[in-house]
Structure 1
Amino acid sequence: MLDSDILSFDPDVARALEFFHAQDNYEVSPLVEIDGPGGRTVQAKLETHRMGLGAFKALGAPYAVARIIAQGWLEKTGEAIGPDRMKDADIRAFASGHTFVCASAGNHGMGVAAGARNMGAKARIHLARTVPEGFAARLRTLGAEVVRSGDVYEDSIAAAIADSLSTGATHLADGTWEGYTEIPKWVMEGYCVIAEELRETYEAKGSWPTHVYLQAGVGGLAAAMAHMIRLNWAVQPRLIIVEPEAAACLQASHLAGKPVRGDGPESSMGRLDCKEPSIVAWDVLERCDVHYATLSEEEGEAAAQALAGQGIATTPSGAAGYGALCKTDDFSPSDKDIRPLVIISEGPA
């Protein structure tokens, strides 16, 4: 039985918002209307240009990097620092002695690399052979060292763990497992900003979504969003967690009543192709009254192509929520009370 304290998730969203509001490249990502199945209007939160990285992950790892540096400085000097102080030369000199390592299927590594560069630290990213070389090139432009480690994502995770143990670098993962939960909770705390942006928008508009589709790999984004929606949205929607058929680890864990693997072949939804769930994300989702949907490879590709036809460039991973809506939408087009929301989680690879 997993300890409830280890699995707890109690984010300080005000702290995350304070951090991002102090960043020169932060702005609220757009909420737009797009065409859905059966002529339905669908609202889409576009993370495709988030903070220059083109994905929601820009809100996770960079925030966690800053928190880790701030905590290290507090332990060394006794001084608690805020976002503005983090730009000072002495803090950057302190950060230069830190190296962050992680495994990545693409975007999380971009977040770690960008966060490290922003603070003056170093980053080393482990990629499995399945990650496109284009991601490796983008990581290098952010100053990160790239190491090819293993055939699949789980191999690169093992390599990142071994790296941190042998070198003393800080392992900054976005998934959680027994013995490793606290730093990824900070990553998830950053993702909560998306839900807060949406809450503020909907409170001003007065028209809340009835259904929210959240794609999931290990589950960090989905769990952070679900937690915040259940915590403080004035109108509660139906929450649908979307995974590839080839990597439905969260659905499998829900059915098993405990974290289990979701094995399958390699998926073209590469950023969602995670066979092991985050145990914290799984526990959060179990408490948030969510439903599950899966997408085939063909359905993921079709969703990305359909969005491209509307001028939104994304990947099958970024389009997964839209794909699940298109697959499962059995609402009557005349039902004006149905207002779906999807997250376009990343731009093109």
Structure 2
Amino acid sequence: MTRTDNLSFAPDFDRALEFFQAQENYAVSPLIELKGPGGLNVYAKNETQRMGLGAFKALGAPYAVARVLEAVWQEKTGEILSAARMGDADIRDFAATQTFVCASAGNHGMGVAAGAQAMGAKARIHLAKSVPEGFGDRLRALGAEVVRSGDVYDESVAAAIADAETTGATLLADGTWPGYTDIPKLVMEGYCVIAEEMRQQFQASGRWPTHVYLQAGVGGLAAAMAHMIRLNWAEQPELIVVEPNAAACLKTSHLAGKPTRGEGPESNMGRLDCKEPSIVAWDVLERCDVRYETLAEEEGKAAAEAVTALGIATTPSGAAGYAALCKQTTEQGNAKETRPLVIISEGLA
């Protein structure tokens, strides 16, 4: 694919950090050390308590909701909203007329629902039949309307797109495809806060990681982290993008030289079980000098159990980076100078 302007990613991470620092429930997530395979010390960025939603996605969709509402208000009135204005009655009355729609297999829907609720807007989340009803209940508790659409995630995505086209609601997806890139870039801009928090934490300690493991579904988190690391980290690590064997859409795209679907059965790494890559994320990763690792289902499950036993309750998706580290250590041995970093991206629901 020829690079085009709509694939460019130049996030205003200072704006994102300023936005979250103004939120009462924002706190820098912990960067801790865990004992890894062979006694290796592993840096772990623990996202399992992030802003009450228990996952890194709390930084994506809520930020995008606010940015979209600001843009629509400015187009409507000419006013550039300040942070102080966002909670005013007239802004919330306006937000109540706006609906955000998405499909979700997990945490993105929670982010959209929470972001809409915080601003006074509406949210409608499309779930495939395979998504547990308990997740639907969590979405409803955040004020979202839940619609069951299709047997699998791809079908719920198509339903959300059709919903937005029919009703005029705002589609807030975390993936990108031809003709739809701008709003998901805002989601990724919110994720950049994680990398900037870590940069400041490593800068303060003076000890930087040598390897960073980044789990990927459509690739938004991995691409945002890779972009920021290559942009402004003082010491450059090796970057490893981690996917399930059953949904290796980014590795498949890398090998094909263009965004390409990654086929496979349903994965127990549910939040990473995405067969279509984000075209923006793929483009970012292609310029960030990353390599790819894929996981068998049992490797993700074993890593979740190991990390949970170390005191951070998580899922196979949340522990995927740790799983790839364990796999690499088993295959290549434990180099004493290695200082790996993993992101524990979500807690147990």
Q: Same fold (TM over 0.5)?
A: yes
Question: Residue by residue, what CA displacement relative to the aligned partner does 1:21-49 show, whole Å, maximum 9, x if unpaired?
Answer: 11000000001111101110101000000
Equivalent in the alignment of 1:151:
151
Equivalent in the alignment of 2:98:
98
Letter of the 2:191 counterpart:
Y
Q: Distance in 2 between matches of 1:322 and 1:89?
A: 45
Q: Distance in 1 between matches of 2:26 and 2:345?
A: 16
| Aligned: 1:88 with 2:88 | yes
- Secondary structure of the 2:252 match is helix
Q: CA deviation at 1:2?
A: 4.7
Letter of the 1:99 counterpart:
T
Equivalent in the alignment of 1:224:
224
C-alpha spacing 1:135/1:2, structure 2 compared with 1 (3 Å): farther
Runs (5+) with no aligned partner, structure 2? none
Q: CA deviation at 1:129?
A: 1.4
Q: Distance in 1 between matches of 2:282 and 2:57?
A: 19
Q: Distance in 2 between matches of 1:319 and 1:163?
A: 33
- Secondary structure of the 1:343 match is strand
| Aligned: 1:314 with 2:314 | yes
Q: CA RMSD in A?
A: 0.9
Letter of the 2:69 counterpart:
I
Equivalent in the alignment of 1:185:
185
C-alpha spacing 1:2/1:122, structure 2 compared with 1 (3 Å): farther
| Aligned: 1:238 with 2:238 | yes
Equivalent in the alignment of 2:323:
323
Q: CA deviation at 1:336?
A: 3.5
Q: CA deviation at 1:82?
A: 2.3
Runs (5+) with no aligned partner, structure 1? none
Question: Residue by residue, what CA displacement relative to the aligned partner does 1:318-344 show, whole Å, maximum 9, x if unpaired?
Answer: 0000000001115654x4421000000
- Secondary structure of the 1:84 match is helix
Letter of the 1:159 counterpart:
A
Letter of the 2:244 counterpart:
P
Equivalent in the alignment of 1:110:
110
Q: How does 1:38-53 map to 2 (within 5 A)?
A: 38-53=38-53
Matched positions, count: 348
- Secondary structure of the 2:11 match is coil
Q: Distance in 1 between matches of 2:219 and 2:3?
A: 19
Q: Distance in 2 between matches of 1:102 and 1:209?
A: 35
Moved over 6 A (4+): none
Q: How does 1:188-227 map to 2 (within 5 A)?
A: 188-227=188-227
Q: Distance in 2 between matches of 1:106 and 1:320?
A: 15
Deviates more, 1:80-89 or 1:316-325: 80-89
What is the percent sequence identity of the aligned residues?
A: 75
8 Å contact from structure 1 (residues 26, 51) kept in 2: yes
Question: Residue by residue, what CA displacement relative to the aligned partner does 1:160-215 show, whole Å, maximum 9, x if unpaired?
Answer: 00000111100000000001000000000000000000000011100000000000
Letter of the 2:129 counterpart:
R
8 Å contact from structure 1 (residues 22, 84) kept in 2: no
Letter of the 2:281 counterpart:
A
Q: How does 1:161-310 map to 2 (within 5 A)?
A: 161-310=161-310
- Secondary structure of the 2:83 match is coil
Question: Residue by residue, what CA displacement relative to the aligned partner does 1:58-89 show, whole Å, maximum 9, x if unpaired?
Answer: 00000000000000110111110122211111
Deviates more, 1:294-303 or 1:126-135: 126-135
Q: CA deviation at 1:244?
A: 0.4
Equivalent in the alignment of 1:22:
22
Letter of the 1:303 counterpart:
A
Q: CA deviation at 1:142?
A: 0.3
TM norm structure 2: 0.98
Q: Distance in 2 between matches of 1:143 and 1:187?
A: 21
- Secondary structure of the 2:198 match is helix
C-alpha spacing 1:118/1:341, structure 2 compared with 1 (3 Å): same
Letter of the 2:241 counterpart:
I
- Secondary structure of the 2:125 match is strand
8 Å contact from structure 1 (residues 43, 340) kept in 2: yes
